[in-house]
Structure 1
């Protein structure tokens, strides 16, 4: 009888599979009672339980599980509804769904293309595991839906302390929820460990939510001194999270935030952090071209007012204050208005810097009119700078006119290079030429 009952059709399907696919619970029960083989799979490798789960047939799934059907549901393309149904049964019957075992201490699902439904299954299993301390779910596709499920499981876990969830396209809400749980339970979400002294996340495609998780972890780390987040997309929300961490962490001395799409709100948050942070020595916010206006001014003021900051985006604050440099080349550093303002304040009363290079024929910076105006104010009182390169700096007419006004009172500067500032028009160029008219030895390149 069992042999007959397990005969297959042209697709390799048994009667049990067909009944499971159709959701006929009574037929499934009858077939099981008559000895139908629950381990059989069709030509595509699909079992009766797989069919029941995919079609969201809860009664059928229960019957098959009661008869000992093995669950192999991870990475099977389940939808949220089916995964939720299976998780409910798993919780009721104490059945593991993801392939993990109760005695595991570590589990690695990273870079496996998991979907939100897979996270639901893993979340169900986590509630049954008493010794798991480390879980990797980084670089998957569980998204915000999956992250929220994992977060709920973490609330009841007593031993899990490392749960890497970076690079999952989380939204701000889910990342913030996870960060709150992390703070309350001491759980790390970025893959960092408490004994790390350096962390390099550069050029990893990280977004705002990832930075929120990293910011949460930073508050749990007592020896980390160097953090590199350059060339990502953490944006304002990510910058705010890092800034909040900077307010409380007492050992981090170097933070690199270059090329991160940070704008005014992020810059203002960093400025507030600098007011209370007493240990940060090196900070870079270069190549964040959206930091302008009031935000740039506030960040510059905070950097200059910091008691610990020695370098901002390559600008050597400490060395300039100590008059250790006679020449300074900062071309092609991605400097913006913030750095232009800081630099201007530092050279204003410098007694030794004679040459300042902020641009070149091929590459420059992005100090713009704001930075140019600040440099102009410095030139009005500086008595030692003789050569100044401002090529390729997106300086327009307003910046050019400000520099022209400074040249009327500055008698020391004799070489000024302003080529390749495409925003500068005839009015700006005329103002500059008029300002140095009659100074035969003055070199002005436009």
Structure 2
């Protein structure tokens, strides 16, 4: 029912009808790109609160007219779904700010039986306070094994990243984590504080981390690598650091850290537009050559300052990855890489 003309009255009416489905355990509602505001969201939430047997819920309300009251009210309602174990909630591209995110987080903290949570608040205005308060809810999720957060372009800085990281440190049973924090203002300090928490996620096997365009420099990248090196059970990693300011030295350090992830089998690494030259490229290759279990590698080093020396060094090093079966390289530069004959 997405891309229709459903308004507050329609959403509330839909909710009222769902209440009559007393045995409902699995529900998927796609209501994105409508004209649903706070009133409709609260009405829908009030109805869902009566679905006491609900265990799996997917609710998509992106591109709507939802503000702080709607987000808080929806959270309060979902907190009454005591049997909820799997929740996917998409509230992206709405008018939700820090107050709404805080209210949502406080309410969701009561969903203590959650094992799988996907929350999309990208392109909102939740900021540092909202992010920290949402993260605080994680402390109660002792059974959480799969977590996806999308907070892209949501006005998050170092303080918000710290709050989120502190919360993640409590999720010791987490095995799958996807975090999209792209297009924010986290910076070196924020990344350093945030990633230190990852070392506590000792059961983490699959990690997707999107930090595109976050003003991350040498210090942040170095601390990120140091933290990842402690995730010894990591087998699948997708790391996107496109459009930051990492440079040569920390590219090498990041590679060395990844080499310590001895169980790493699949790696997608995007370091495009990061002021990386020949030295960093060659060193990265040498480090990756030590990832002895690596079978699938996708490496993006486009739009840097890599010449023939760096490209050759990278290629030579990767030949030592004896278990590598699939390789994708992006090396397009501002200027052509020229190999003299």
TM-score by length of 1: 0.44
1:75 alignment partner in structure 2: 9
Distance 1:178 1:376, change over 3 A: same
2:226 alignment partner in structure 1: 301
C-alpha deviation, 1:313, in angstroms: 2.4
Q: Deviations over 1:74-117 (max 9, x none)?
A: 5289xxxxxxxxxxxxxxxxxxxx85799986998872743224
Q: Deviations over 1:165-194 (max 9, x none)?
A: 6416221221123212433xx137xxxx62
* 8 Å contact from structure 1 (residues 252, 279) kept in 2: yes
1:272 alignment partner in structure 2: 196
Distance 1:217 1:444, change over 3 A: farther
Specify every segment of 5 or more residues in structure 1 that has no aligned partner in the other structure, as ranges: 1-72, 78-97, 315-331, 350-357, 434-442
1:394 alignment partner in structure 2: 303
C-alpha deviation, 1:249, in angstroms: 0.9
Are residue 247 (structure 1) and residue 169 (structure 2) matched?
A: yes
Q: Structure 1 or 2: larger helix share?
A: 1
Are residue 261 (structure 1) and residue 169 (structure 2) matched?
A: no
1:313 alignment partner in structure 2: 238
* 8 Å contact from structure 1 (residues 103, 130) kept in 2: no
**What SS is found at the alignment partner of 1:285?**
strand
Specify every segment of 5 or more residues in structure 2 that has no aligned partner in the other structure, as ranges: 1-6, 261-267, 291-297, 320-328
Distance in 1 between residues matched to 2:236 and 2:165, nearest whole Å: 17
Q: Deviations over 1:253-276 (max 9, x none)?
A: 222336843553453343121243
2:323 alignment partner in structure 1: none
Distance 1:256 1:178, change over 3 A: closer
1:90 alignment partner in structure 2: none
Q: Deviations over 1:113-168 (max 9, x none)?
A: 43224456678x78xx99564698751533213334556x66xx994546986416
Distance 1:235 1:283, change over 3 A: farther
Q: Deviations over 1:17-58 (max 9, x none)?
A: xxxxxxxxxxxxxxxxxxxxxxxxxxxxxxxxxxxxxxxxxx
C-alpha deviation, 1:347, in angstroms: 9.0
Match of 2:205 among 268, 281, 301: 281
Distance 1:311 1:172, change over 3 A: same
1:18 alignment partner in structure 2: none
Are residue 421 (structure 1) and residue 330 (structure 2) matched?
A: no
Structure of higher CA gyration radius: 1
C-alpha deviation, 1:345, in angstroms: 2.0
* 8 Å contact from structure 1 (residues 393, 421) kept in 2: yes
Q: Structure 1 or 2: larger strand share?
A: 2
Distance 1:240 1:176, change over 3 A: farther
Distance in 1 between residues matched to 2:185 and 2:153, nearest whole Å: 11
Distance in 1 between residues matched to 2:277 and 2:185, nearest whole Å: 17
What is the root-mean-square deviation of aligned Cα atoms in Å?
A: 5.9
* 8 Å contact from structure 2 (residues 72, 100) kept in 1: yes
Distance in 2 between residues matched to 1:120 and 1:418, nearest whole Å: 47
1:340 alignment partner in structure 2: 251
Number of residue pairs matched? 281
C-alpha deviation, 1:220, in angstroms: 4.1
Distance in 2 between residues matched to 1:309 and 1:346, nearest whole Å: 12
C-alpha deviation, 1:247, in angstroms: 0.5
Q: 5 Å matches for 1:218-233? A: 218-228=138-148
1:366 alignment partner in structure 2: 272
TM-score by length of 2: 0.54
1:145 alignment partner in structure 2: 69
Distance 1:306 1:131, change over 3 A: closer
RCO (CA 8 Å, sep 6+): is it higher in 1 or 2?
A: 2
C-alpha deviation, 1:343, in angstroms: 5.1
1:187 alignment partner in structure 2: 111
Distance in 2 between residues matched to 1:104 and 1:419, nearest whole Å: 55
**What SS is found at the alignment partner of 1:248?**
coil
**What SS is found at the alignment partner of 2:177?**
strand
* 8 Å contact from structure 1 (residues 255, 283) kept in 2: yes
* 8 Å contact from structure 1 (residues 235, 260) kept in 2: no
C-alpha deviation, 1:296, in angstroms: 2.0
**What SS is found at the alignment partner of 1:187?**
coil
